[in-house]
Amino acid sequence: MELMGESSILVLGGALQRRVHGLAGAFFKSPELKARVTADMRSRLAAAMDAWRATAATGAGAAVRVQDEAKLIVFEILVRALIGLEQGQEMNYLRQQFHIFIAGLISLPIKLPGTQLYRSLKAKKRMTSLIQNIIQEKRRRIFEGKDLCAVSRDLIDVLMSNGSDELSLTDELISDNMIDFMIPAEDSVPVLITLAIKYLSECPLALQQLEEENMELKRQKSDVGETLEWTDYMSLTFTQHVITETLRIGNIISGIMRKAVRDVEVKGQGDVVIPKGWCVLVYFRSVHLDANIYDDPYAFNPWRWKERDMAAATANSGSGFTPFGGGQRLCPGLDLARLQTSIFLHHLVTNFTWVAQGDVVVNFPTVRLKRGMPIKVTPKT
């Protein structure tokens, strides 16, 4: 909580939390942002894949660490959407500081020089300074009448233009939340992409069906000379089943912490009461891998979502599927996470074949692949 700051959406409560969550959710779900993210993803993937082809042309195949590649691509795209920062020195500096910051999220709470928490707090301060400079420059341009465009180009614009006297969104609140929203770009989305490729590599039948679905879409679009839109990627039914199953079995976010603001009767029955003030860890993994809810829960089986109600995959609290949380604190970027993963998988399977070199999932302190999921890719002819 100290690293996040008192203004963080993860710490805020009441009307202010609902305001920030609502504004961020509407921004992340907007068709305009999805179209921009799709174009950015295609552009960045094309550049990365050109480099893979050039390496593969030497005859040995190109070795790619999926986790590292996904982090590079997703981080820059999301940061651009959040604060309008383009590729360059400042982006590289921000990424460097963010790596130091995020390492302290799960660390010993000792704030002395040389400790991880101390280093992370210093990195947070440097990131906050950079972001607040961007906010102040935006405010200056608006004050001088140089930036009166009605279109919100990034999330800072949205939060700056939607404050009110009752619920003022300060520069500190905006900068704190920009840093919070960068966490999925470093952790959640790249790990989701990486795990999907790992599970597909271990399940040839699923990989074959996903490849056929994506190749068919590519052919349809090529025949009429159209570029894929964000809606096309999201329309890939089996690809969405693969992503849903990866979320279930991968448990990228293993749990969330909540504080009881009053005495809570579990399931409305008085025999189990969580006292006011207690902290609760809601452990998603125990639900997602429960044999009473899922047949053969430890098996990667995307076909299970054909039979199940896909509405259950929208993280509603009673569904037994909650990788994005639920209720008032449902992750506002869930659609964007699915979209970015769909785009990455589409362009990988339609342009390359690959051989996985073997890796293992590490679950503590956060979920990741121990070696970054190395694969050897070969361009399709």
- Distance CA(285)–CA(282), nearest Å, equals 9
Sequence-distant (≥ 6) Cβ neighbours of residue 42 within 8 angstroms: 228, 343, 347
Q: Is 279 annotated as a binding residue?
A: no
Task: State both tokens at 185.
Answer: 């770009």
Cβ-contact 288, 248 below 8 angstroms: yes
- CB contact at 8 A, 361 and 371: no
The two tokens of residue 266 are 């579990």
The residue whose two tokens read 């599927």 is 321
**105-114 long-range contacts, CB within 8 A, separation 24+:** 105/3, 105/365, 106/365, 106/366, 109/2, 111/2
- Burial (CB count <10 Å: 0-12, 13-18, 19+), residue 356: middle
Q: Determine the Cα–Cα distance for residues 83 and 247; give it in Å rounded to an integer.
A: 28
What single DSSP character describes residue 87?
S
CA distance linking residue 119 with residue 103, whole number of Å = 9
Give the annotated binding-site residues for heme: 331
Binding site as annotated, residues: 331
